[in-house]
Structure 1
Amino acid sequence: VTGLAADTSYEFAVVAVNEAGESGPSNTVTATTQPRGEAPDDGLPERLLTGYWHNFDNDSTVLRLADVPSEYDIVAAAFGVEDREVPGGVDFAVSDEVSDGIPGGYSDADFIDDVAELQQRGTAVILSVGGERDNVRVDTQERADNFADSLYGLMDEFGFDGVDIDLEHGIEPTYLTSAMRQLSDRVGPELVITMAPQTLDMQSTTNDYFRFALNIKDILTVVNTQYYNSGSMNGCDGNVYAQGSVEFIAALTCIQLENGLDPEQVGVGLPATPSAAGGGYVDPSVVNDALDCLATGQNCGDFTPPDVYPEIRGAMTWSINWDATNDYAFAETVAPHLDTLP
């Protein structure tokens, strides 16, 4: 049952219907919805701006991690890739491409120092695994164990605060859940876990990505769905919306908000520039409108949300490097707006 008000008592009764007609109602039961949540106690800001930093040169802007502007609350280093020698294992290094693009080069040791520098100013740095071109299969218990072990080792080596799951070639939620719980048990409650599913992955709770998110809801930080490269899709109201609009962003996000994830675990992901994605770019001001729509019911365009979600967590962009090519217009537009949300 969706669209209910917070901290409100409702009565429910059930009838059965078949070709013979309708039965009488069952006994009535009463249930009270949960109150609006308080600010998350995960040690991160109440609102989050997440951005990806590349360890490769894709014709955007090559930059050191330390050059990431302070508007970003979480920086996801992209990407951790499959360890070819360990089934389910993850490997990461600063690539030669990036080193060649930075005067004086850029080594793993430089990167580690920069991770510490960002953390000192209050920015979390996590490792994003997968991406468009790479995948790590976690479809057996052995692979799940190796996935968790390798991530724990990389966190220790580079100082990462957690992990971003960006596996765009399919996941197996049972074993990936096992891996994340193993990692959580070893790191503790300070572990940051984010996800960046494609739009299609979060259309229904029967989808593997959505199932995985619900499986780890108690240790999950935020899901930043990629609202780009998507075409047109159904929103939570059953209507079809085209990507690249405030209605698309709000109506697709509403599916998660109405089907089990807490608002403080939900963010919206958009490209920083038209060149950063094949489709779905919107001006950063439209990202702000979508956040307003979800948090307050205002600036929704032709979409009417079934409820408001003041605790909506924030936004994500692909990527910080692309944002740099546009004088950080995404960060400088969206970050201050997050502070205005209720």
Structure 2
Amino acid sequence: MPARLLAGLTAALLTTAVLVGTSTAQAAGPHPPAPSATPATDAAPTTTAAPATTAAAVPRHAVTGYWQNFDNGATVQKLKEVDGAYDIIAVSFAEATGQPGAVTFRLDPAVGYGSTDEFKADIKAKQAAGTSVILSVGGERGAVSVNDAASAQNFADSVSGLMDEYGFNGVDIDLENGLNSTYMTQALKSVHDRHGDVVVTMAPQTIDMQSPQNEYFKTALGIKDFLTAVNMQYYNSGSMNGCDGKVYAQGTVDFLTALACIQLEGGLDPSQVGIGVPASARAAGAGYVAPSVVNAALDCLTRGSNCGSFQPSRTYPGLRGAMTWSTNWDAANGNAFATQVGAHVHDLP
């Protein structure tokens, strides 16, 4: 985006911009305006310093994949069968209990494990190979609610307990039915207090990251000192606002780059921003893009090349990488994401 456009981006712009074709899975209604973006300068492309605390196991540029603890028609896998290109595997999903905010995890017999010990051994083997294995909370049907101090404590206690029991490296927040930034931030800080090297990722929907005033965005900023990555879901959303106030259609390189720009200019470090896409056309209702489009977006954001009509005013060579739903759908698609996007992410500057 030209510097004059970035400099002119104001809160009123996002307030008045039109949202088109929002998915029924996303919350409707108005959302607060974003603050003005920081004007770009004519200096050479730069990126912000990395956060002070980051899990050492996660590489500078990382590929994240969700592993399905259920059978929905995609390839059924054990963790040991997940392609080695994935640097972070998010086990999906932890489930709500009868206690507000608390979560638990149970292996689905459909995935083929003979015992919990076998699953734990696969976690250790992946970790020995340099992969972080984390527990994802939520999903489309997730009903975990953290909206007061008590539920925040229950969430932290249960997540920390599952990390200790299974050996998970951290937690992924994939709550698609609302989030309270005050108490989720409190809960995640409590987890971090107990596990200083915790890997924390988030997978908000596009509408949740349209403004730094949205609850998901505020949560990300609230844990910025230890947040690993926000891998927003660039799909199932319809057209959305980019950081220049223009509306972009999903399934395009401009959609990926112009929406990532909101996070990159809204307070997150580039190392905390990833691009989340479906592994195949069958993995989501809409918004699938070929690996070549993901790679073009990564090049545009990190190198300033292969952009579409949207041209960022600066580059972000520290961009964390990319995420996909899911490793199972990727396997059903010949591991195209792991092979093509994975190699490209690991070759980023």
TM-score (norm 1): 0.88
User: Which residue pairs with 1:196 in the alignment?
Assistant: 203
Task: Compute the displacement of 1:3 (Å).
Answer: 3.6
Aligned to 1:79, the other structure's residue is in SS state: strand
Q: How do 1:154-303 and structure 2 match up within 5 A?
A: 154-188=162-196, 190-303=197-310
2:62 aligned partner: 48
Task: State yes or no: 1:2 paired with 2:59.
Answer: no
In the alignment, the residues of structure 2 paired with residue 35 and residue 299 of structure 1 have an alpha-carbon distance, to the nearest angstrom, of 19
Tell me, yes or no, if the aligned pair for 1:222 and 1:266 is still in contact at 8 Å: yes
Match of 1:37 in 2: 49
Q: Please say if residues 98 and 106 of structure 1, whose CA atoms lie closer than 8 Å, have aligned partners that are also in contact.
A: no
Counterparts of 1:161 and 1:174, CA distance in 2: 24
Q: What amino acid is the match of 1:51? A: G
| Cα 1:149–1:293 shift into 2, 3 Å | same
Aligned-partner SS, 1:77: strand
C-alpha contact (below 8 Å) 2:252/2:289 kept by paired residues: yes
Q: Which of the pair is proportionally richer in strand?
A: 1
Maintained 8 Å contact 2:50/2:271: no
Unaligned runs of 5+ in 1: 9-32, 100-104
Instruction: Report the 3-state secondary structure (helix = DSSP H, G, I; strand = E; otherwise coil) of the residue aligned with 2:63.
Output: strand
Q: Percent identity?
A: 55
Which whole-Å CA distance do the structure 2 matches of 1:124 and 1:39 have between them? 18
Which amino acid in structure 2 is aligned with residue 147 of structure 1?
A: F
3-state SS, counterpart of residue 290 of structure 1:
helix
Structure 1, residues 194-244: CA drift from partner, whole Å, max 9, x if none? 000001100001111001101111110100000000100110011110000
Greater gyration radius: 1
**Structure 2 residue aligned with 1:25:** none
Cα displacement (A) at 1:293:
0.7
Moved more, 223-232 or 294-303: 294-303
Asked if structure 1 preserves the Cα contact closer than 8 Å seen for 2:66 and 2:91, the reply is: yes
Distance 1:236 1:116, change over 3 A: same
* Alignment of 1:94 onto 2:107: yes
Distance in 1 of aligned mates of 2:181 and 2:346:
34
CA RMSD of aligned residues (A): 1.8
The 10-residue stretch of structure 1 (153-162 or 38-47) with the greater mean CA deviation from structure 2: 38-47
Map 1:81-120 to 2 at 5 A.
81-84=95-98, 86-99=99-112, 105-120=113-128
Q: 1:131 to 1:178 in 2, by over 3 A?
A: same
**Closer/same/farther in 2, CA of residues 65 and 258 from structure 1, 3 Å limit:** same
In 2, Cα distance between equivalents of 1:187 and 1:205? 27
- From 56, 59, 72, the counterpart of 1:58: 72
Deviations 1:94-142 (A, max 9, x none): 112223xxxxx43322111100010010100000000001120000110
Return the letter of the residue paired with 1:167. L
Deviates more, 1:36-45 or 1:299-308: 36-45
- SS of the aligned residue for 1:281 comes to coil
Question: Equivalent residue of 1:75, what SS?
Answer: strand
TM-aligned CA distance change 1:290 to 1:122, over 3 Å: same
Distance 1:247 1:34, change over 3 A: closer
Structure 1 pair 90–203 and aligned structure 2 pair: CA distance change class (3 A): same
Alignment partners' CA distance in 2, 1:95 and 1:333: 30
1:7–1:36: 8 Å Cα contact kept in structure 2? no
- Structure 2's unaligned 5+ residue stretches are 1-36
Could you say if the C-alpha distance between residues 46 and 292 of structure 1 is closer, same or farther in structure 2, counting changes exceeding 3 Å? same
> Is contact 2:132–2:169 with CA below 8 Å preserved after alignment?
yes
Which of 71, 89, 95 aligns to 1:75? It is 89
156, 161, 175: which one aligns with 1:153:
161
Question: Once the 2 structures are TM-superposed, how far is the Cα of residue 42 of structure 1 from its aligned partner?
Answer: 3.1
* 1:327 shift after superposition: 1.1
d(CA) in 2 for partners of 1:323, 1:46: 23
SS in 2 for 1:179: helix
